[in-house]
Amino acid sequence: MQRTLIILKPDCVQRRLVGPILSRFESKGLTLVALKLVQASRAIAEQHYGEHRDRPFFGGLLDFITHGPVIVGVYEGPEAISVVRKMLGKTNGAESEPGTIRGDFSVSKQNNLVHGSDSPESATREIALWFRPEELVSHQLSGHEWVTG
């Protein structure tokens, strides 16, 4: 089992796509471990996207991600990190395959609706950045064996 962090970015919230996006993850068989609506501070946004601090788009990215509330969540499941990344598609929505979230709902490189951790190290770091340990609820859904086999 793996855990991964997702962020439904401000464009996702403003475009009222929270329900359809969470529905995809739920239908896929991922299990929610945490979920909350937050207004991200510039400080947490800078830490979250720290790897991009020297990129020309960094300032604009911080403006975007702090422009309105985001939904932050943790999902658990087999290969959860790569499962979510595949469901997201490529960074640029205009280049993403139909059937992926970005491919179906985005034509933008920045406004691409959803973040997903890209590695186990990133997932551990990002989950600790956005959630206190007591906010993570370990549990098993009844009938889980029908999903994970």
Residue 115 as a binder of ligand IDP (CB under 6 A): the answer is yes
Q: Which is nearest to 75 in space by CA: 149, 5, 147?
A: 5
Count the helix, strand and coil residues of the chain and give each as a percent rounded to the nearest 5. 45, 20, 35
What is d(CA 82, CA 144) in angstroms, rounded to the nearest whole number? 20
- Complex with ligand IDP: residue 22 or 84, whichever CB lies closer: 84
Residue 122 as a binder of ligand IDP (CB under 6 A): the answer is no
Q: Which stretch binds ligand IDP (CB under 6 A): 28-36, 39-47, 71-79, 106-114?
A: 106-114
How many residues line the site for ligand IDP (CB under 6 A)? 9
Nearest residue to Mg ion, by Cβ distance, number only: 118
Question: Among ligand IDP, Mg ion, none, what does residue 61 contact (CB within 5–8 Å per kind)?
Answer: ligand IDP
Residue 57 as a binder of ligand IDP (CB under 6 A): the answer is yes
Residue 109 as a binder of ligand IDP (CB under 6 A): the answer is yes
Q: What is the b/e burial string over 60-73, where b = at least 16 CB atoms within 10 angstroms of the residue's CB?
A: ebbebbbeeebbbb
DSSP β-bridge partners for residue 4: 75
